[in-house]
Structure 1
């Protein structure tokens, strides 16, 4: 008989939205970084309409963690089960389920269950996992409730766009410029300060001060996941400017036979409650969308052009 102790947690929230809306948000794991504060990035590796494999990055007690998960979706029962197949220490096993229940008076009750074991079952390790589960589960449920209850506004709140430049130079030099963010204060005029650490290979945690068009400064914090062989850097801002509730993005370097296309992609959830405070009385979501598009696009395009110059200048000097 096994003497491994299984620890269990249960979290729930009542949501004033239809069960189908709530289930859909949980099922769409690739968008979790946009809607769930702890989630940084999700890659769907396999999906057959029911079973899926995911690679996930998220913060846990201030650390960036990554694992592989298997999930089974059951839309008829409105239940999704999950199991980590490659957890990070001190977690030895982790599994659970999302359960979407229709409330008798209308709306939804969402329940999140976790069962986990810890190698050695040391008290401090168990407490670490329990704290991470509790903190992240509460944040995820609260955020999902807020998004689901504003479902009819979501098309206005979410803004996605991209900018690109064409580079006649090697993809490796373009990627190198985008990767070496620690050098940006000397190379990128709108970046006045940038502190970066790399707690694990390909994982960058950074804090950046950006100079705005009116001469002000705002500070953001981000986690970046770097895929050098794929020419991709994905990121999530973990501390955002006032107008943005969430901001995720990607730098991608796409070579072809005649050169390189470098793309900057952004997806933002606007913070509606801050619109008039930031943009003035009478401003609404259309003005906020235009303002954010112009501000992010201006800085992204400037950075793309600097990466272009870096690569093309190096070629001319050879």
Structure 2
């Protein structure tokens, strides 16, 4: 059975700001704490093919992979998948954005299958992804809300 995660956070900011900041892949090294580099490899219509590189591990290992991402501003959804799957047989992602009374709910769903023969499986990867996703979502919430407050000050 495949692994899956489903995490959401509400960001107190306008939809367009949340959408724009979280879908600007080139800016992800400043938005996500774990990414050292985001390189756009190809653009085809709305679809981006890009390489993400993590900051080095404590042992100096650097992890990198290529993904594909297609945002749909009309439905406020983003579908993504890893092309270079690394430890996964597959990794698919769905990001959704919806308005709430408290702001914008940003939800990330990940479905994956860890390759056989690794020293960890879907359960351990689910725990790792949930931990990292929650940390990154909290950081993104803080940064987007700070940007929203700055825009309000400029207008005010």
User: How high is the TM-score relative to the length of structure 1?
Assistant: 0.43
| Counterpart among 22, 39, 47 of residue 43 in structure 2 | 47
Deviation at 1:52, TM superposition (A): 0.9
Match of 2:6 in 1: 10
CA gap 1:152/1:26 in 2 versus in 1, 3 angstroms: closer
Tell me if the contact between 2:13 and 2:148 (Cα under 8 Å) persists in the aligned partners.
no
1:33-72 mapped onto 2 (5 Å cutoff): 33-58=29-54, 64-72=62-70
Q: Secondary structure at the match of 1:98?
A: strand
The answer to whether the Cα contact below 8 Å between 1:38 and 1:60 also exists between their aligned partners in 2 is: no
Contact 1:36–1:139 (CA under 8 A) maintained in structure 2: no
Question: Does 2:98 match 1:101?
Answer: yes
After superposition, what is the alpha-carbon deviation per residue over 1:93-142, rounded to whole angstroms, capped at 9, x for unaligned? 11111111111x24111101100001127672334422331222112211
Q: CA deviation at 1:26?
A: 1.7
Q: What displacement does 1:46 show?
A: 1.1
Kindly report structure 1 stretches of 4+ aligned residues shifted beyond 3 Å: 59-64, 152-155
Residue 77 of structure 1 aligns to a residue whose secondary structure is coil
Contact 1:69 1:85 survives alignment (8 Å):
yes
Tell me how far apart the structure 2 counterparts of residues 60 and 141 of structure 1 sit (CA, whole Å): 21
- Determine if the alignment matches structure 1 residue 21 to structure 2 residue 17: yes
Residue of structure 2 in register with 1:129 after alignment: 125
Counterpart in the other structure of 1:92: 89
Partner of residue 80 from structure 1, selected from 52, 61, 78: 78
Among candidates 144, 149, 170, match of residue 145 of structure 2? 149
1:31 and 2:27 aligned: yes
Going from structure 1 to structure 2, the CA distance change for 1:59 and 1:116 (only over 3 Å counts) comes to: farther
- In structure 2, what is the equivalent of residue 306 of structure 1? none
Whole-angstrom CA distance in 1 between matches of 2:116 and 2:80: 23
For residues 154 and 53 of structure 1, do their structure 2 counterparts lie closer, same or farther at Cα, with a shift above 3 Å needed?
farther
Q: Which has the higher contact order (CA 8 A, sep 6+)?
A: 2
**Matched positions, count:** 149
Which runs of 5 or more structure 2 residues have no equivalent in the other structure?
152-156
Shift of 1:35: 1.2
CA-based RMSD of the aligned residues comes to 2.3
Find the structure with the greater CA-based Rg.
1
Gaps of 5+ in 1: 156-318
